[in-house]
């Protein structure tokens, strides 16, 4: 045997050819934009009156099992009395509620915190 033949055997058959690139025959699926399921309806903020009115609607009752009085009371505690309620305010409130006894809402009872967590998730459409 010749030396080049031995080298081919040791290297696994010598040089390999690159496999051909496969062309995509089907186009990539188009991603649908996520629909905003929150009560903000695609907007980043809402007037306080509209927000409180939507808190009292029966749509939120189905997702939270909280009565109208509980929802409006928790809405006032969580979001204060500002003229506008922003979506980021609701997200911040949700984060603070998840901090437990170290968060901004540490004075709320455990039961109220659980209710408020359900309410903020439903407001955000989660």
C-alpha 31/C-alpha 39 separation (Å) is 23
List, for residues 84-124, the tens digit of each pLDDT value. 999 999 999 999 998 877 888 888 888 989 999 999 999 88
Domain presence at residue 63: yes
Number of domains in the chain: 1
Domain presence at residue 92: yes
Domain presence at residue 16: no
Q: The domain containing residue 72 runs over which residues?
A: 46-126
Q: Is the pLDDT of residue 13 over 60?
A: no
Q: Is the pLDDT of residue 14 over 60?
A: no
Q: Whole-model pTM?
A: 0.66
Which is more confidently placed, 29 or 52? Answer: 52
Beta strand 84-86 with 45-47 is: antiparallel
């Amino acid at each position: 045997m010749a030396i080049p033949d031995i080298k081919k055997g040791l290297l696994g058959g010598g040089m390999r050819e690159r496999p051909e690139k496969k062309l995509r025959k089907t186009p990539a699926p188009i991603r649908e934009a996520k629909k905003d399921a929150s009560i903000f309806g695609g907007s980043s903020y809402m007037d306080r009156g509209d927000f409180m009115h939507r808190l009292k609607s029966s749509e939120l009752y189905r997702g939270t099992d909280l009565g109208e009085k509980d929802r409006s009371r928790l809405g006032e505690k969580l979001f204060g009395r500002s003229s506008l309620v922003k979506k980021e305010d609701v997200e911040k409130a949700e984060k603070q509620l998840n901090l437990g006894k170290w968060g901004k809402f540490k004075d709320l009872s455990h039961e109220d915190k659980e209710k408020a967590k359900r309410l903020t998730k439903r407001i955000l459409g989660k």
